Structures are given as structure tokens and as C-alpha cells.
């Protein structure tokens, strides 16, 4: 069998990006991937397909709610669900084929099948055992299970099943008000489904800035989503086309039931390491089932590395990509590095939600002296013209030094706006640095500048 410098197990955003960088650095590289297409969860059943459905359903929402006011009269479009799914599938196809092209261009071998590691330096795919100087595990994650809830991917579904339902359900219960629950919940809500979200905690999207959490939930409610907060789901009972969800309210332990045509289970994901042979290799794991790695992404077994959802940290495609590039550099004898303090998070609902760095709650817990600069999109001309004035930009800066510590945005294009703050933070910028940077008018980005101004002498348009 062929000998490689590096074999990467998993062709998702972590693995394929790592492979391309390895190849660019002159290493003979192969990727093991068992799916029929490259791109992993993100491209096949995650980020990309959900964004296609979010885009299509947002267009419908605009037509139903904002077209008439702009002088665009006529009947709103009706939903051709089959066509919407085929648009989603085309989007997936274009992206997965794009990676195949990049593999050919960079002379990366795709070893088709599921890989295991019989020993350091060896990767088995089917009956073939390949040799590699370094092995990088990038096998991703799978939805975690919930006791009492049996997923059939028809009536009780994970995000995978929710992306290919045979029809738009009348009633959907979403278990978990995290990123997946709210993104997919809002797709179906906009398509006319009655959506109820059941969440264990008292706030949506755990870990986010509390002010954003409150505003976000209020906006989703206004869009028609229902929330049952502080409720632990006990079980689901599913028939052929309906399910009953039983939950207990934490405040009084009372038990309740709710029926739905489809139940979406979105209560988190767990590392996918089945069948890799990690036990036999003696690879150290964390208590949460993640692979333990050092600062160079190497496990305790020399020559075996791990990146992405299988290790600690947020389960985000772009975090995996960054680790992929950095680990490739480490393997090539360079000094790859990831700044974990500046990893943005984005929720692709409408409006979008984006954050980077510390939340106000974290700064309080750390006892840090900070200041807050906040600006509402209502004061942004472009946002008002586009019916997108709901939401705000909030910048947190060190009280003494003015250095930016975090940013939280809920509003139009938040997922793009956050990146100027990321770059600023990478350069150790102060809020004043942002405030003194000329921002084109009229753009949403002026709201970021105004929030930065609000950390100093004050915003202009508020
Ligand atoms: P999550 O961890 O974001 O949210 C799960 C929610 O379920 C939590 O709020 C939790 O309190 C709740 N929960 C757990 N058990 C429950 C129970 N028995 N009853 C009621 N509520 C319960 O997980 P999610 O949304 O499944 O996402 C998984 C991963 O995928 C996350 O790490 C997320 O960051 C990532 N992801 C990121 C996206 C993005 O960046 N836009 C999009 C989709 C997923």
C-alpha cells in the first residue's frame, strides 16, 4: 500500500482543510472518508443545507411581510417543498464537488471507506492497511442521544432528518433552544409550521450574552415561535406520523405533554470516535469523551493528532478549519497556532446573532473592570431602509486600557459584521481604534463603529 506523510481521518471542514494545507506544505497526503461525498456533517447535513433552507424561507418571510410596504404588490409565493429540497441538494452538490476538485488540484488521495488505527503509523480502510508518518483524527461529531427519546429520523428526527422531511409539518416540537433548534425551528416557523421549543434552561442559546439571549428570544416569539422554558424532556412516544413529548417543569416538577407531527431533537452533539480503535491505542480521553491533545494537537500517542469536534472547545466548522491549518503546520515542523480567544460564533437566523470574546457575565465573574458601548440598529439608516432596525451591537472594552474584550451583535448581517471586531481583537485594538476607522455610509457596519464610539465620548446617531 502507498506510504504517506500524513493520513487524515475525516473529510469535514477540519479534515479537508488540514489536508489542503498539508499538501501545500509539500506533504504526501491522504484523507479517509466513508461518506459518498466529501465535506463531512457541515456540507452534507449541517451548515450548508441549513443555510439554503434558511435563505429560502427568509425570502418567503420578506415576501409575506415586507414586499407590500416597498411597493411590491401581488400574491406571496407558495412553498414548493420538493423544489426547495432540490435547491438545497444542488447547493450541497456544488460544494462537495468543489472539495473533490480541490483534492485533485492538490494531489490529495481520497481513501474511500471508514478508517481505523490498528497501530501508530498505520491506518486501515477496508482490507487495506496504509502507512503514514503522522495521523490526524478529524472524525467530527454526531447528535447526542437523550434518555427516553428514540430517534427514527422520520417523526423523531435529528438535524439530519429535519433537512429532508417529506413535507412541511403542521406542528413541530423542538427539544433544545441551542443553535440547531433555533436555526431549524425558525426555518419551519417561516414555512408555516407551528413550532414549540422546549428548553431545559431559563434562557435560549446557553453561554451567550444575557442581553442578546433575551432580545433574541423576544424576536423569535414575535416571529411566532413558542417557548417552554425551564423544562426537562422526559420521553417521546412516536407513532407513524405523530409523537407525544412528555416534559417536566423544573419550577414545580409538574408533568406536561405536547403532540407534534415532527419532534426535532437538538440537545447537543458528541465526538464521533466509534471504530477508530482509540482504546487499544491507549489514547487519553477527557471525561466528556473528547480526545485529549497538547498545544500542538498531538495526543499522548506520538504521531497521532486530533482536531475539530473530537477535541475540546466549541463544535464549530471554522474552529475545526483553523485547527486543521495549524495542525498541518505543526506536522510539517512549523509553528501553527490558534487564538481560541477570538473564535466568532454565529447563529444564522433572521436577524443573525454573532459574538466573539467575553460576555458581560464572564467579565463580571472574573471581576474585571469593563465598559459597555451599545448601539441600536434603529439608529442605522441602512438597517431602517431594509426593515432591519431590530437589534444592537454591544462592544465590551477594558475600562482602563480601552482594549476590546468582546462583541455581541443581534441584527442584520451580524455574522459578517463580527469579523471586523475579530480582526481588531487579533491586533489587540482598542475601541477607539475602531471608532477612528472610517466606515462607509450607508452600511450596517456603521453600527459597529457607533458601538465603539459609545465606549468613548458617545455615539453620533443615538
Ligand atoms: P446546543 O448545545 O447548542 O444546545 C442544546 C440545548 O438543549 C441546550 O440549550 C440545552 O440546555 C438543551 N437541552 C439539553 N437537554 C434537554 C432536555 N432534556 N430537555 C430540554 N432541553 C434540553 O446543541 P445543538 O443546538 O444541538 O448544537 C450542537 C452543536 O452544533 C453545538 O456545539 C453548536 O455550536 C453546533 N452548531 C453550530 C451552528 C452554527 O455555528 N451556526 C449550527 C448548528 C450547530
Q: Is residue 148 part of a domain?
A: no
Rounded to the nearest 5 degrees, what angle is found at the Cα of 45, between the Cα atoms of 218 and 410?
25
What tens digit of pLDDT does each residue of 377-409 get? 999 999 999 999 999 999 999 999 999 999 999
415-446 pLDDT, tens digit per residue, is 999 999 999 999 999 999 999 999 999 999 99
State the residue range of the domain holding 196: 156-267
* CA 309 to ligand 1: nearest atom: 32
Q: Are residues 356 and 439 in the same domain?
A: yes
pLDDT (average), residues 46-58 = 97
Q: Which of these three, 323, 338, 353, is where a domain ends?
A: 338
Residue 256 appears among annotated catalytic residues: no
At 1 the pLDDT is 59
Per-residue pLDDT, averaged over 215-231, amounts to: 98
Choosing from 256, 337, 441, 461, the catalytic residue is 441
Indicate if 123 and 28 belong to the same structural domain: yes
The predicted-structure confidence for 18-46, as pLDDT tens digits, reads as follows 999 999 999 999 999 999 999 999 999 99
Return the C-alpha torsion angle 320, 321, 325, 328, nearest 10: 50
Q: Whole-model pTM?
A: 0.97
Amino acid 384: pLDDT: 97
Query: pLDDT for 130-187, tens place per residue?
Result: 999 999 999 999 999 999 999 999 999 999 999 999 999 999 999 999 999 999 999 9
In ligand 1, the atom with minimum distance to the C-alpha of 180 is 25
In a domain, 304, yes or no: yes
Mark whether 39 and 51 lie in a shared domain.
yes
In a domain, 149, yes or no: no
Which residues does ligand 1 sit against, CB inside 6 Å? 146, 175-181, 183, 198-201, 206, 232-233, 266-269, 314-316, 345-348
Are 7 and 125 in the same domain?
yes
What's the CATH number where 347 sits?
3.30.390.30
Total count of domains within the chain = 3
Strand 262-265: give its sheet, edge to edge.
156-157, 262-265, 171-175, 194-198, 226-228
Q: Are the CB atoms for 275 and 281 separated by under 8 Å?
A: no
CB 394 within 8 A of CB 448: no
Listed residues 246, 267, 288: the one ending a domain:
267
On whether both 136 and 31 belong to a single domain, the answer is: yes
- The three-state DSSP-derived secondary structure of 102-137 is HHHHCCCEEEECCEEEEECCEEEECCEEEEEEEEEE
Predicted pLDDT of residue 357: 98
Confidence of residue 76 (pLDDT cuts 50, 70, 90): confident
Q: What is the mean pLDDT of residues 341-345?
A: 98
Single residue among 286, 320, 338 that ends a domain in this structure: 338
When pLDDT is averaged across residues 69-76 and rounded to a whole number, the result is 94
Is the same domain home to 388 and 430?
yes
Same-domain status, 192 and 327: no
Average pLDDT of the residues of the chain? 97
Residues 10 and 129 occupy one common structural domain: yes
Mean pLDDT of 314-323: 98
CATH of the domain at 120: 3.50.50.60
Q: How far is the CA of 119 from the centre of ligand 1 (A)?
A: 35
Q: Are residues 289 and 363 in the same domain?
A: no
Q: Check whether residue 218 and residue 110 sit in a common domain.
A: no
Amino acid at each position: 500500500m502507498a506510504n504517506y506523510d500524513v493520513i487524515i481521518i475525516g473529510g469535514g471542514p477540519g479534515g479537508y482543510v488540514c489536508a489542503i494545507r498539508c499538501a501545500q506544505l509539500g506533504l504526501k497526503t491522504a484523507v479517509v472518508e466513508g461518506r459518498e461525498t466529501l465535506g463531512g456533517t457541515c456540507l452534507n447535513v449541517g451548515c450548508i443545507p441549513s443555510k439554503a433552507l434558511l435563505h429560502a424561507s427568509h425570502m418567503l418571510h420578506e415576501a409575506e411581510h415586507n414586499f407590500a410596504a416597498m411597493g411590491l404588490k401581488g400574491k406571496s409565493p407558495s412553498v414548493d417543498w420538493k423544489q426547495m429540497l432540490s435547491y438545497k441538494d444542488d447547493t450541497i452538490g456544488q460544494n462537495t464537488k468543489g472539495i473533490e476538485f480541490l483534492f485533485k488540484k492538490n494531489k490529495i488521495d481520497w481513501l474511500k471507506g471508514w478508517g481505523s488505527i490498528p497501530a501508530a503509523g498505520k491506518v486501515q480502510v477496508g482490507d487495506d492497511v496504509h502507512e503514514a508518518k503522522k495521523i490526524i483524527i478529524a472524525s467530527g461529531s454526531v447528535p447526542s442521544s437523550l434518555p427516553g427519546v428514540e430517534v427514527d429520523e422520520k417523526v423523531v428526527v435529528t438535524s439530519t432528518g429535519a433537512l429532508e422531511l417529506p413535507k412541511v409539518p403542521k406542528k413541530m416540537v423542538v427539544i433544545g433552544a441551542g443553535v440547531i433548534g433555533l436555526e431549524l425551528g425558525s426555518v419551519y416557523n417561516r414555512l408555516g409550521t407551528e413550532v414549540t421549543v422546549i428548553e431545559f434552561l431559563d434562557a435560549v442559546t446557553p453561554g451567550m450574552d444575557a442581553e442578546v439571549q433575551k432580545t433574541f428570544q423576544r424576536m423569535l416569539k414575535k416571529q411566532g415561535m413558542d417557548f417552554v422554558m425551564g423544562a426537562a424532556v422526559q420521553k417521546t412516544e412516536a407513532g407513524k406520523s405523530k409523537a407525544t413529548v412528555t416534559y417536566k417543569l423544573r419550577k414545580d416538577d409538574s408533568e406536561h405533554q405536547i403532540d407534534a407531527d415532527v419532534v426535532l431533537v437538538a440537545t447537543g452533539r458528541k465526538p464521533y470516535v466509534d471504530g477508530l480503535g482509540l482504546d487499544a491505542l491507549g489514547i487519553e480521553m477527557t471525561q466528556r469523551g473528547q480526545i485529549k491533545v497538547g498545544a500542538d494537537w498531538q495526543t499522548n500517542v506520538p504521531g497521532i493528532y486530533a482536531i475539530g469536534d473530537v477535541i475540546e472547545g466549541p463544535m464549530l466548522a471554522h474552529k475545526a478549519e483553523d485547527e486543521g491549518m495549524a495542525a498541518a503546520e505543526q506536522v510539517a515542523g512549523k509553528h501553527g497556532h490558534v487564538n481560541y480567544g477570538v473564535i466568532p460564533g454565529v447563529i444564522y437566523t433572521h436577524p443573525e446573532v454573532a459574538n466573539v470574546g467575553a460576555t458581560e457575565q464572564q467579565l463580571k465573574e472574573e471581576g474585571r473592570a469593563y465598559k459597555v458601548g451599545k448601539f441600536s440598529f434603529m439608529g442605522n439608516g441602512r438597517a431602517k431602509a431594509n426593515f432591519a432596525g431590530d437589534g444592537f451591537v454591544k462592544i465590551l472594552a477594558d475600562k482602563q486600557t480601552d482594549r476590546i474584550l468582546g462583541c455581541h451583535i443581534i441584527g442584520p448581517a451580524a455574522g459578517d459584521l463580527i469579523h471586523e471586531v475579530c480582526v481588531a481583537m487579533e491586533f489587540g485594538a482598542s475601541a477607539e481604534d475602531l471608532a477612528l476607522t472610517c466606515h462607509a455610509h450607508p452600511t450596517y457596519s456603521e453600527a459597529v463603529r457607533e458601538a465603539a464610539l459609545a465606549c468613548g465620548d458617545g455615539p453620533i446617531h443615538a
